[in-house]
Amino acid sequence: MPAPTPIILDCDPGTDDALALLLALASPELDVLAVTAAGGNVGLELTLRNALALTALAGSRAPVYSGADRPLLGAFVNAPRVHGVDGLGGIALPSGGSPAPGIASDAIRAILRSAQRPVTLVGIAPATNLALALASEPKLAGNVERIVLMSGAWGEGNATPAAEFNALNDPEALEILLASGRPVELATLELTAQAQATPERIAALRAAGTGRSLKTACDIQASVPSSPRRGHGAGAPLHDPCAIAYLIRPDLFTTRACSVRMDLGPGPSRGRTVIDRWDSTSAPHNATVLETINADAFFALLGERLARLP
């Protein structure tokens, strides 16, 4: 079996982040060197607490670092309507203890400096922590294998008509990553909308095993209100785990190389990821966009992996 891929997982748990974090920790293909938390879905105090609790729940010793409590400009916009006021839909977890000493961007730089092989950066939150690390020591980009993000949309956003939530929360940070010179791969809203966590799929996940991690994951996802785009009772897209599944099973996805740039203006289009899927501008490709997912195989993978956890 190939050596596991070393990753740093930057997150803002968050209901879908919770399942993504558990999936990463359950997958032997990945070596989670660190978990870094930013504000986003809820404030940093809660996302950090949730990251610690989920890592402990999975029985992992991966260090968890506290990161940015605001974007490079302005303030984070939270989403308690989706994630609940605590970020996990009101599903209580035992305390996960204390974070590792230091702050996320310093920890990311330290890991990249000492890495024996290139590290994959995985971002399922506003990109602030990752951007701070690379912007403050740009040469470390040479130690990055690739950057895999759940971010952006080529059509309508979900936080504004123009912008996806993570991209809107720190578009300057996302622009830094797109300009880093490293391969950037984006799981956008159009991709994650195909991974619809219907009540039937959640029931199938519950039947996959009896561990507390699996049960907690199902309880968390069941708390998420149905997407208004899909209709009452249809469930909600499982956004962030798509980025993790792509690392584990890229064969479940189709992709397209694109030019991607950010709208950084102050108006209603701020945070829009301008994705040129059809080369209409002839701009150089700087990202790979995930376009389709085998949703049934994705949910089967999710159940099989989460059932491995305590």
| pLDDT tens-digit map of 51-64 | 999 999 999 999 99
227 pLDDT above the threshold of 80:
no
Question: What percent of the chain has a predicted confidence (pLDDT) above 70?
Answer: 99
231 pLDDT above the threshold of 80:
no
What is the identity of the amino acid at 148? V
Q: 2, exposed or middle or buried, with CB in 10 Å at 0-12, 13-18, 19+?
A: exposed
What integer pLDDT is reported at residue 268 of this predicted model? 97
232 pLDDT above the threshold of 70:
no
Take residue 304 and report the two structure tokens written for it.
């099989």
CA 89 to chain centre: 18
From the list 187, 274, 291, 275, the residue with the least C-alpha distance to 239 is 187
Count Cβ atoms below 10 Å from residue 94 Cβ, excluding itself. Answer: 9
Residue 81 sits in which domain range? 5-306
Q: Is there a catalytic annotation at residue 83?
A: no
Beta bridge partners of 37: 11, 66
Q: Are 150 and 243 in contact (CB under 8 A)?
A: yes
What integer pLDDT is reported at residue 234 of this predicted model? 81
- Quote the CA–CA distance of 300 and 1 in Å, as a whole number: 21
Distant-in-sequence, close-in-space partners of 32: CB < 8 Å, separation ≥ 6:
7, 8, 9, 24, 25, 60, 62
What integer pLDDT is reported at residue 240 of this predicted model? 98
Domain count, the chain: 1
Q: 88: phi > 0 → left, psi -120 to 50 → alpha, else beta; which?
A: alpha
Q: How far is CA 237 from CA 195, 196, 201, 273, in A?
A: 5, 4, 11, 19
161 pLDDT above the threshold of 70:
yes
Take residue 267 and report the two structure tokens written for it.
């108006």
The CATH number of the domain holding residue 237 is 3.90.245.10
pLDDT in tens, 90-142: 999 999 999 999 999 999 999 999 999 999 999 999 999 999 999 999 999 99
> Which of 83, 232, 239, 285 is flagged as catalytic?
239
Query: If you average pLDDT over residues 220-228, what whole number do you get?
Result: 89
Whose tokens are 């997912």? That residue is 293
Rounded mean pLDDT of the chain?
96
Cis peptide, bond prior to residue 157, ω within 30 of zero: no
pLDDT in tens, 61-102: 999 999 999 999 999 999 998 999 999 999 999 999 999 999
What integer pLDDT is reported at residue 286 of this predicted model? 97
- Quote the CA–CA distance of 179 and 27 in Å, as a whole number: 30
How sure is the predictor about 288, in pLDDT bands with cuts at 50, 70 and 90? very high
What integer pLDDT is reported at residue 229 of this predicted model? 72
From the list 55, 15, 2, the residue with the least C-alpha distance to 32 is 55
257 pLDDT above the threshold of 70:
yes
What integer pLDDT is reported at residue 230 of this predicted model? 66
How sure is the predictor about 2, in pLDDT bands with cuts at 50, 70 and 90? confident
Distant-in-sequence, close-in-space partners of 184: CB < 8 Å, separation ≥ 6:
146, 147, 148, 149, 177, 178, 260, 286, 287, 288
What integer pLDDT is reported at residue 233 of this predicted model? 66
